[in-house]
């Protein structure tokens, strides 16, 4: 592990205790980073950035490609670390590491073209736009994709020439330190990227520190408001990827068994603990009963099991507290008229377990309709027709992802492109993030973008440069 696990700390420093969600048993403990140490790390990162920004794209690319190589070589180790700290199934953990490595390779290969100078025609002289790194980016990251979320910001930020500080979720400190270790082993200067096991109460002073240039957060709406307020108070750029209550429209011309499989995959990714998981399935009435039956069958295939074993499709929730909150949303929705089609009962066993659950007759006023349910609970909502389905989908404070399931591709394309209020909309497939396409949301799902050239340019200075021949300054040609 990173040297931070062994770094000396004051005796009064608090410790972070991890818990295995599958068993409830305690795991490793780590000392928190003090605010003084975090501020010192920010100053050191700023100094390291001033050197790193002068490196070539080729030099940075070699380092980030090496990080991808290390990730792949240690894939099983890191997957098991995620399983132990936040309950991700081993199979999904391996896939997450592969995705992180692909992301590193993508930006190592494409950063230079994404940030290439762009010419502008002003009619005289030379004008171009250049993209320069802005400094140290502070990332406040969540637990649900503990490697992917970090590399999603880190690879483009480092390739752009920036420095980076990571404040990860408190329940995945081992993952946070492992990421630091990977990047340092790959050749990222020690001070340029640092993991800070900083408590949330100390994040605001770090945001406001002069050595931090910008902030990126993936987290809850409340966390987004807090970070945005702190960053705004000192006029610093921030990118926010917040919650989601993604709606998928299932129209009367859909292939119902295929649509149910897409919906189940969309809902059950990471045990339902994903901002872009499908959460609301808006079904037109003529096919409602048939779709209910198909979705129960498809989601019923996700049986809970040991997350450390190959082939397990549903592991525990991240914590007993989170599981209990999900169950409260389910029971409150049923009390207000929702119909339970599958699951909905807390297993009698230690750990944070909750079964795959399907609710129908979901309506406004029920938590399953109005709130983000961050677990394996699918909500079926009836719509009268296409227009009503679009209205229901857009009747949400969130706007991250969305989907359309239809046999008419032109219809699906129109609805996805023009009608749904979301940062992403997929037709006949579940929404996912990818380094090649911009990722982000609207409304309370946040602002700014990650991935692709759009995301990479969030944390650079987009500068216009104009050059006029000195011989023509003032409208007069200078004598030779």
| Active site residues per annotation | 241, 275
How many CA atoms lie less than 13 Å away from 47 in the CB half-sphere? 8
Phi, psi (rounded to 5 degrees) for 373: -100, 110
CB-CB contact of 246 with 433 (8 Å): no
∠ at Cα 278 (346, 282), nearest 5°? 100
SS3 (DSSP) at 264: helix
Angstrom distance (rounded) from CA 340 to CA 334: 7
Q: Tokens representing 472? A: 């023509």
Angstrom distance (rounded) from CA 258 to CA 290: 12
∠ at Cα 379 (377, 382), nearest 5°? 170
Q: Using the 8-state DSSP alphabet, how is residue 415 labeled?
A: I
Which residue matches tokens 């896939």?
95
Measured in whole angstroms, the distance separating CA 178 from the mean position of its chain's CA atoms is 18
What stretches of 234-287 show up as alpha helix (H) in DSSP?
256-268
CB-CB contact of 373 with 326 (8 Å): yes
Element (H, E) at 41: helix 35-52
Phi, psi (rounded to 5 degrees) for 354: -150, 135
Angstrom distance (rounded) from CA 323 to CA 330: 11
What stretches of 218-315 show up as alpha helix (H) in DSSP?
221-233, 256-268, 288-300
51 Cβ partners below 8 Å, 6+ apart?
189
Strand partners, 381: 282
Q: Is the dihedral of CA 423, 427, 428, 429 positive or negative?
A: negative
11 Cβ partners below 8 Å, 6+ apart?
none
**Short-list 27, 7, 11, CA closest to 19:** 27
């Amino acid at each position: 592990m990173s040297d931070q696990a062994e770094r000396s700390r004051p005796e009064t420093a608090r410790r972070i205790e991890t818990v295995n969600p599958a068993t409830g048993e305690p795991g490793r403990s780590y000392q928190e980073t003090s605010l003084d140490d975090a501020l010192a790390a920010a100053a050191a990162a700023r100094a390291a950035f001033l050197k790193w920004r002068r490196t070539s794209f080729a030099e940075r690319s070699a380092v980030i490609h090496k990080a991808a190589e290390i990730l792949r070589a240690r894939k099983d180790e890191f997957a098991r670390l995620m399983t132990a700290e936040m309950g991700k199934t081993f199979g999904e953990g391996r896939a997450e590491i592969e995705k992180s490595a692909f992301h590193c390779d993508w930006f190592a290969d494409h950063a230079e073209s994404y940030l290439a100078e762009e010419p502008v025609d002003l009619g005289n002289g030379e004008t171009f736009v250049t993209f320069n790194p802005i400094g140290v980016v502070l990332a406040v990251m969540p637990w649900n994709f503990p490697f992917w979320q970090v590399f999603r910001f880190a690879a483009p930020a480092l390739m752009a020439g920036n420095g980076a500080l990571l404040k990860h979720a408190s329940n995945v400190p081992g993952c946070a330190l492992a990421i630091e270790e990977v990047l340092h082993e790959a050749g990222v200067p020690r001070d340029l990227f640092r993991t800070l096991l900083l408590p949330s109460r100390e994040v605001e002073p770090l945001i406001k520190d002069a050595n931090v240039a910008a902030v990126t957060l993936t987290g809850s709406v409340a966390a987004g408001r807090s970070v945005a307020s702190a960053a705004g108070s000192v006029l610093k750029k921030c990118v926010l990827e917040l919650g989601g209550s993604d709606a998928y429209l299932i129209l009367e011309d859909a292939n119902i068994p295929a649509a149910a499989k897409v919906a189940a995959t969309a809902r059950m990714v990471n045990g339902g603990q994903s901002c872009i998981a499908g959460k609301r399935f808006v079904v037109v009435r003529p096919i409602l009963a048939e779709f209910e039956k198909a979705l129960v069958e498809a989601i019923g295939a996700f049986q809970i099991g040991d997350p450390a074993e190959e082939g397990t499709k549903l592991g525990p929730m991240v914590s007993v507290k989170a599981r209990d909150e999900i169950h409260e949303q389910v029971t409150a929705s049923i009390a207000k008229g929702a119909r339970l089609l599958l699951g909905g009962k807390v297993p009698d066993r230690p750990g944070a377990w909750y079964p795959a659950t399907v609710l129908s007759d979901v309506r406004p006023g029920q938590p399953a309709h109005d709130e983000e349910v961050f677990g394996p609970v699918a909500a079926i909502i009836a719509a009268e027709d296409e227009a009503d389905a679009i209205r229901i989908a857009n009747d949400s404070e969130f706007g991250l992802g969305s989907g359309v399931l239809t046999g008419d591709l032109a219809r699906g394309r129109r609805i996805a492109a023009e009608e749904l209020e979301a940062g992403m909309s997929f037709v006949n497939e579940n929404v996912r993030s990818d380094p090649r396409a911009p990722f982000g949301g609207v409304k309370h799902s946040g602002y700014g973008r990650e991935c692709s050239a759009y995301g990479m340019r969030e944390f650079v200075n987009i500068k216009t440069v104009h050059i006029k021949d000195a011989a023509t300054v003032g409208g007069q040609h200078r004598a030779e």
